[in-house]
Copies of this chain bind each other. A is one copy, B any other.
Amino acid sequence: MSPNQPSPPAGEVRRGQPPTLRDVAEAAGVHAATASRALNPSTRRLVSAETARRVMKAAKTLGYQPNPIARSLKTAKSSTIGLVIPDLTNPLFPPIVRGIENVLEAEGYSAWIVNTDNDPERERSRIDSLRSRQVEGLIVATARLDHPFLEKLHEQGVKMVLVNRRTENLAIPCVTADDATGIALAVRHLVDLGHTRIAHLAGPHSTSTGVVRARAFRHAVRDHGLEDDSRLIVECAHWNEADGAAATRELLDRATPFTAIVAGNDLIALGSYDVFAERGISCPEEISVVGFNDMPYLDKLRPPLTTVRVPHHDIGAEAARMLLDCIDDPTRHPRSLLLPVTMVVRASTAPLR
């Protein structure tokens, strides 16, 4: 057992209630204002060392915990930020959340998490509710390229950092994976295996990620001297399995020959797997597939999915750090960060026969 203060206050308490600053001040024989100064590291130098010692000792024995609500009311700061994501059950987001919280926790901040389910109306109302809770900033993972609501908030001076995606307005700082390089790696991997007819199941063009990856795909294909055939690119309506499956069916029905797929993300690749099962296509023997993100348990799939690993935890951590920087120094110039990705080769890709 470590000699930490016990969870229930060891000292006296007033009326069974948690002790307040006044209780501490009284116990230390000083005024509440003095106690406040002594307890707050940034104002501690204003009181004598001896007084500070006495106050801190009294606080400790009383088990005093400052009331963050009262503090927030006074300072109009909440030590709180809002985290706006589409859906927590998408395995993409938990690692980002943990990355964010690791950084916030160290700075005494906490995050309110809200799910929008990609519903703009719901997004608006959840963000309004976050703002009424006095969040000091927002980390937003639901950005669309054309996103007037976010733009408006940004103009109003709401501090925010986008993760994973961005808007057309580059003035809003964001942290994303290096999507273009990731797609280039995927294409090169397939080319190295001998593939020349490579298809792309693109994410929605309303998202920066969808557009950037699709553009990077066309560039990469051309860079390898292959034909940039638009019949080999199908856009998925959403980043999920169902739309990945639909897009795969459309691709197959176009009857344009291809031997490999670069999927916009892992869930879209999973949709392809479903269609392969439907139609008796064997992967990787007939068609190779590369995903994107490296979500958990991909190595247990049939076949284990080759994919591009994105440092989700780091994306969250960097975004949180960036947001705290913006809060600390509002004059700070907005930066955007591109985090490096790596190929993870498993068994869904094979040499062209």
Contacts and interface: CB of A to CB of B under 8 A. Distances in A.
Interface of A: 2, 7-8, 65-70, 72-73, 78, 87-89, 91, 94-95, 97-98, 101, 110, 112-113, 115, 121, 124, 127-128, 131-134, 149, 152-153, 156, 270, 273, 296-297, 300-303
Contacts of A91: 89, 91, 296
A61 B313 CA distance: 42
Contacts of A270: 297, 300
23 contacts: A7-B124, A65-B131, A66-B132, A67-B134, A68-B132, A68-B133, A69-B69, A69-B78, A69-B133, A69-B134, A73-B73, A88-B98, A89-B91, A89-B94, A89-B98, A91-B296, A94-B94, A110-B133, A113-B113, A297-B297, A297-B301, A300-B302, A301-B301
Contacts of A112: 110, 112
Given A7-B149, A69-B73, A128-B65, A89 B296 contact: yes
One complex includes copies of this chain to the number of: 2
Nearest to A89: B94
A303 to B, nearest CB: 7
Contacts of A153: 7
User: Ordered nearest first, which 10 A-B pairs have the shortest CB separation?
Assistant: A302-B302, A65-B132, A89-B94, A88-B94, A69-B72, A300-B301, A69-B73, A73-B73, A70-B73, A89-B95
A284 to B, nearest CB: 13
A23 to B, nearest CB: 15
A213 to B, nearest CB: 22
Contacts of A66: 132
Contacts of A128: 7, 65
